[in-house]
């Protein structure tokens, strides 16, 4: 079963200027452990698509299942719960809380999941270790470089063991060398079994993904597999 | 999110903008401080009035001579002494609910003791007087019935007089001269303090009624058996009004006043006067507290204002929190707790300041002040309520933010 299943997914905005169809009946399946780059020019609908599969927005038409849950039927609290458990967000601007140290930032999703302080501390340290920042736990965002800040944000996205890592232009604010390091981290996480959907307009970044989905005018115009999903990970499924 | 953690994070948010938070709290601080101080000083003042009521003696009425018409000329109140010992005796005997009827005469006198002298008021009293006024001696003894009956030349001194004539010396059994009559001091009265009208009640001396009438206070009391006024003490407050009616009827009858004639006496209910003073002290402090409460309201609006600013500034933070799984109600409670923490800290500072101010006023101005636990609890509760009330709208605005919009905001 696919992790993400969208069927005729649509999002229409009723603005003063008139109706804007941001997403026009997109049907797409994304398997577990896949690494998908969503590309397209601005206004192509890729951000709308990302907001919808990230459960930040609700479709105006069609259906969406995430890990078997029919998202369109959930209320605000249900969506919050799903974001908390199943999705880790990584943003272009990192979006770290400036007054809180790296550890506290990583703990944030677990605060809303209701974990005890001790568990949070332990798992946040593990997550920071996973992105190579175990020694920066008490640094505040201001005291970290852009690449380090994005690593903290990735640790935060991973800490609740979500089924999906959703990254919106994660390298957009970074220099190319740091961007490559972050992409290498994504690939490594993907090899470890994390499903990643990454929105970008940078072809170079898109090249790192296994699968490339290109949007234009609210529709998918290209869906190309660049590399197979990691063979080691596919093997057990193939055996079934 | 757990409450304790929410409060901790509220503290860190407040500390992040320490100066701004402090200025925001200032309205609450001043409001609460003003309420606490005003209530403390007000209840101190009321306490003083209560004390003065008690010092006067409870359930007391006073009968004074009224205007007398002599040959068509209406003389003013007190122009003649129309009351007598027998009137007092009749009141004591015939009126229901009367526990004491104390006739007395009064006047001014210069008291001389050794080298020092002192001008004061002198009262000639009988045995009922001290029980009517609920007054006792601090040293020595009061008059015995024989001394009263015979009109012996013995004297009781008020605290102020004793201090001024004798200083630290023991005045008992000393001789003081009033109008050249040598009186032997047999006691010193307990201190009564100020009256409700600001008089020093301890600046006074007492002699037996007849001694006063015959030897010291000559004016108007030439007629034997006439007295200045009569204190009437009732058993219960409810006895006073009907009692005054009965006394009036009794005295009209005794003084042979016909239906067309005016009373030659007047009767005042002293409890009523005291109650009025107490009520006006109450009204004043309520008024001041209401004014202070307005500043609490203004403080609340200040908190609402700064919370709205804070929500706008932290829109991205709110978006992020929503994205990582905060429910709208988590955001609501976060900002509500922040506003409440802000106002409660302000309330605590205000309580400290108010108690300090009340204490300072008590020390410097000499006004009594009484900080009540109730006022403190109410101020604390009220400031928390202000936070909840004025924090709700900003918090709700935060909770209603669309996560996508919020994340996009710069």
Lowest-confidence region among A156-170, A208-222, B234-248, B322-336: B234-248
Q: For residues B286 and B259, state if they share a domain.
A: no
CA distances from A201 to A48, A149, A156, B87, B291 (A): 14, 21, 24, 113, 63
Last residue of a domain, one of B233, B263, B293: B263
Runs of H (alpha helix) within A87-202: 102-113, 117-130, 146-158, 176-191
Packed helices A76-86 and B315-323: angle between N→C axes, nearest 10 degrees: 70
Beta bridge partners of A6: A28, A64
Secondary structure letter of residue B212 according to DSSP:
I
Taking the CA atoms of B13, B17, B18 and B20 in sequence, report the sign of the dihedral they define. Answer: negative
Task: Report the gap between the CA of B21 and the closest CA in chain A (Å).
Answer: 16
- β-bridge partners, B200: B194
Residue B161 makes CB contacts below 8 A (sequence gap 6+) with B111, B118, B120, B202, B203, B204, B205
DSSP helix/strand/coil, A60 = coil
Residue B352 lies in a domain: yes
Q: Are B398 and B55 spatial neighbours (Cβ–Cβ below 8 Å)?
A: no
Question: Is A51 inside any structural domain?
Answer: no
- Decide if A233 is inside a domain: yes
- The CATH number of residue A164's host domain is 3.40.50.300
Residue at token pair 């009438």? B213
Last residue of a domain, one of B263, B293, B310: B263
Q: Distance between CA atoms of A195 and A31, rounded to whole angstroms? A: 8
pLDDT beyond 50 at A236: no
- Is B373 exposed, middle or buried (CB count within 10 Å of its CB: 0-12, 13-18, 19+)? exposed
Are B104 and B243 found together in one domain? Answer: yes
Residues B105 and B239 grouped into a single domain: yes
DSSP symbols for B363-409:
HHT-------HHHHHHHHHHHHHHHHHHHHHHHHHHHT--HHHHHH-
For A92, other C-beta atoms within 10 Å of its C-beta total: 17
- Per the CB < 8 Å rule, is B319 touching A76? no
Q: Between chains, do A97 and B403 touch, taking CB under 8 Å as contact?
A: no
Q: Do B322 and A80 touch (CB under 8 A)?
A: yes
**What pLDDT is recorded for position B408?**
85
A97: nearest CB among B317, B327, B330: B317
| Predicted pLDDT of residue B71 | 61
Domain for residue A226, yes or no?
yes
**Inter-chain residue contact B325 with A80, CB threshold 8 Å:** yes
- How many domains are contained in chain B? 2
Provide the pLDDT for residue A238. 39
Domain that holds residue B195: 81-263
Bridge-partner residues for A63, per DSSP?
A: A7
Query: Does B318 map to a domain?
Result: yes
The Cα–Cα gap between A158 and B21 comes to 35
Contact A93, A29 (CB under 8 A): no
A9 within a domain of the structure (yes/no): no
Distances (CA, A) of A164 to A7, A34, A158, A190, B98: 19, 10, 9, 10, 93
Query: What pLDDT does residue B78 have?
Result: 54
Q: State both tokens at A65.
A: 């299942």
In contact, B165 and B116? CB cutoff 8 Å: yes
Mean pLDDT value of segment A91-120 = 92
Indicate the pLDDT class of residue A140, thresholds 50, 70 and 90. Answer: very high
Residue A187 DSSP label = H
DSSP code string of B138-187? EEE----HHHHHHT-SEEEE-HHHHHHHHTTS--TT-EEEETTEEEEEEE
Does residue B212 sit within a domain?
yes
Considering A15-19, A153-157, A227-231, B370-374, the range whose residues carry the highest mean pLDDT is A153-157
Which residues have CB under 8 Å from A24's CB, separation 6+?
A10, A45, A217, A218, A219
Domain count, chain A: 1
Chain A residues touching residue B328 (CB < 8 angstroms)? 76-77, 80
Q: Classify residue B66: in a domain, yes or no.
A: no
Quick one: chain B helix, strand, coil %, rounded to 5?
Answer: 55, 20, 25
B49 and B148 in a common domain = no
In contact, B183 and B175? CB cutoff 8 Å: yes
In the three-class reduction of DSSP (H, G, I as helix; E, B as strand; rest coil), residue A117 is classed as helix
pLDDT by position in tens, chain B (length 410): 577 888 888 888 888 889 999 999 998 998 889 888 888 888 887 777 777 766 777 788 888 887 666 666 666 555 566 788 888 889 988 888 888 899 988 888 889 988 888 999 999 998 888 888 888 888 889 898 888 888 888 999 999 999 888 888 888 998 999 888 899 999 999 888 777 667 788 899 999 988 888 877 765 565 667 888 899 998 888 888 888 889 988 988 888 888 888 788 888 888 777 777 777 877 887 887 788 778 888 889 999 999 999 999 999 999 999 999 999 999 999 999 999 999 999 999 999 999 998 888 888 877 777 787 888 888 888 889 999 999 999 999 999 999 999 988 87
Query: Would you state the pLDDT for residue B67?
Result: 65
| CB-CB under 8 Å, A76 with B325 | no
On whether ipTM exceeds 0.85, the answer is yes
Distances in Å between the Cα of A180 and the Cα atoms of A35, A170, A172, A205 are 16, 11, 11, 8
Closest CA to B119 of B137, B107, B102: B107
Last residue in a domain, options B217, B241, B263: B263
Confidence at residue A170, expressed as pLDDT on a 0 to 100 scale: 92
Same domain, yes or no: B157 and B99: yes
Q: With respect to residue A55, please indicate whether it lies within any of the assigned structural domains.
A: no
Contacts of B316 in chain A (CB under 8 A): 95
Same domain, B250 and B145: yes
Residue A178 in tokens = 């740091």
Which residues, in sequence order, are CB contacts of B224 under 8 Å at separation 6+?
B213
Are both B285 and B259 inside the same structural domain?
Answer: no
B122 and B252 assigned to the same domain: yes
Residue A113 touches partner B, C-beta closer than 8 Å: yes
Claim to verify: residue B94 and residue B242 sit in the same structural domain: yes
Nearest-angstrom CA–CA distance, B95 and B98: 6
**Joined tokens for residue B313:** 């500034």
Q: Specify the pLDDT at position B382.
A: 87
pLDDT number for residue B368: 74
Assigned domain for A234 exists: yes
Beta bridge partners of B35: none
Residue A54 at interface with chain B, using a CB cutoff of 8 Å? yes
Q: Is the Cβ–Cβ distance between B178 and B216 less than 8 Å?
A: yes
Contact between A59 and A11 under an 8 Å Cβ cutoff? The reply is: yes
* Contact check, Cβ <8 Å, B330/A51: no
Within this chain, do residues B127 and B258 fall inside the same structural domain, yes or no? yes
Closest CA–CA distance from residue A176 to any residue of chain B (Å): 24
Residues of B in contact with A89 (CB under 8 A): 323-324
Mutation pick from B7, B317, B319, B323 vs chain A, by most beta carbons of A within 10 Å, is B323
**B21 & B142 share domain:** no
Q: What is the pLDDT of residues A32-88, one digit of tens each?
A: 999 999 999 888 999 899 999 999 988 999 999 998 889 888 898 999 999 999 999
Per the domain annotation, does A116 fall within a domain? Answer: yes
* Predicted local confidence at residue B269, as pLDDT: 85
B270 part of a folded domain: no
Whether residue A185 contacts residue A131, with contact meaning beta carbons closer than 8 Å, is answered with yes
Please report, rounded to a whole number, the percentage of residues in chain A having pLDDT higher than 90: 68
Q: Which domain holds residue A115?
A: 33-43+81-239
Are B281 and B396 found together in one domain?
Answer: yes
Residue A91 lies in a domain: yes
């Amino acid at each position: 079963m696919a992790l993400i299943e969208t069927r005729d997914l649509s999002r229409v905005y009723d603005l003063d200027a008139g109706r804007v169809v941001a997403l026009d009946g997109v049907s797409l399946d994304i398997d577990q452990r896949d690494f998908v780059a969503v590309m397209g020019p601005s206004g192509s609908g890729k951000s709308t698509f990302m907001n919808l599969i990230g459960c930040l927005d609700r479709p105006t038409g069609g259906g969406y299942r995430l890990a078997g849950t029919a998202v369109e039927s959930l209320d605000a609290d249900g969506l919050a719960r799903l974001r908390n458990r199943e999705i880790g967000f990584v943003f272009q601007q990192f979006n770290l809380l400036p007054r809180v140290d790296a550890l506290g930032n990583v703990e944030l999703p677990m605060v809303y999941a209701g974990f005890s302080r001790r568990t949070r501390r332990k798992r946040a340290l593990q997550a920071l270790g996973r992105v190579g920042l175990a020694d920066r736990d008490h640094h505040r965002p201001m005291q970290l470089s852009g690449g380090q800040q994005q690593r903290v944000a990735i640790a935060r996205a991973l800490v609740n063991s979500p089924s999906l890592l959703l990254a919106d232009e994660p390298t957009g604010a970074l220099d190319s060398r740091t961007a490559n390091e972050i992409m290498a981290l994504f690939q490594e996480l993907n090899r470890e079994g994390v499903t990643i959907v990454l929105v970008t307009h940078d072809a170079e970044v898109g090249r790192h993904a296994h699968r490339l989905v290109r949007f234009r005018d609210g529709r998918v115009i290209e869906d190309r597999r660049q590399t197979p999903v990691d063979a080691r990970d596919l093997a057990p499924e193939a055996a079934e | 999110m757990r409450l304790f953690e929410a409060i901790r994070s509220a503290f860190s948010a407040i500390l992040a903008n320490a100066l701004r938070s402090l200025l925001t709290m200032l309205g609450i601080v001043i409001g609460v401080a003003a309420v606490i101080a005003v209530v403390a000083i007000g209840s101190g003042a009321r306490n003083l009035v209560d004390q003065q009521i008690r010092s006067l003696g409870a359930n007391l009425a006073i009968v004074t001579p009224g205007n007398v018409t002599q040959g068509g000329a209406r003389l003013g109140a007190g122009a003649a002494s129309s009351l007598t010992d027998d009137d007092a005796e009749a009141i004591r005997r015939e009126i229901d609910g009367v526990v004491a009827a104390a006739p007395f005469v009064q006047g001014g006198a210069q008291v001389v003791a050794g080298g020092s002298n002192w001008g004061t008021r002198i009262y000639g009293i009988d045995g009922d007087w001290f029980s009517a006024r609920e007054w006792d001696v601090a040293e020595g003894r009061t008059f015995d019935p024989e001394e009263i009956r015979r009109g012996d030349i013995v004297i009781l001194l008020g605290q102020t007089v004793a201090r001024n004539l004798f200083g630290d010396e023991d005045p008992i059994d000393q001789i003081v001269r009033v109008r050249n009559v040598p009186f032997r001091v047999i006691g010193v009265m307990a201190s009564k303090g100020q009256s409700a009208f600001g008089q020093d009640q301890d600046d006074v001396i007492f002699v037996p009624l007849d001694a006063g009438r015959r030897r010291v206070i000559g004016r108007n009391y030439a007629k034997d058996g006439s007295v200045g006024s009569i204190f009437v003490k009732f058993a219960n407050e409810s006895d006073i009004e009907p009692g005054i009616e009965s006394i009036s009827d009794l005295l009209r009858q005794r003084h042979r006043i016909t239906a067309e004639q005016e009373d030659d006496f007047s009767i005042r209910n002293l409890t009523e006067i005291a109650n009025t003073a107490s009520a006006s002290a109450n009204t004043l402090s309520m008024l001041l507290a209401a004014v202070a409460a307005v500043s609490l309201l203004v403080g609340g609006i200040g908190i609402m204002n700064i919370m709205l600013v804070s929500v706008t500034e932290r829109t991205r933070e709110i978006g992020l929190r929503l994205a990582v799984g905060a429910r709208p109600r988590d955001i609501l409670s976060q900002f509500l707790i922040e506003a409440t923490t802000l106002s409660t800290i302000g309330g605590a500072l205000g309580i400290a300041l108010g108690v300090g101010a009340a204490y300072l006023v008590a020390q410097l101005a000499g006004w009594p002040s009484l900080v009540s636990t109730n006022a403190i609890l109410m101020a604390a509760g009220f400031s928390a309520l202000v936070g909840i009330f004025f924090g709700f709208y900003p918090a709700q605005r935060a909770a209603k933010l669309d996560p996508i919009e919020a994340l996009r905001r710069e």
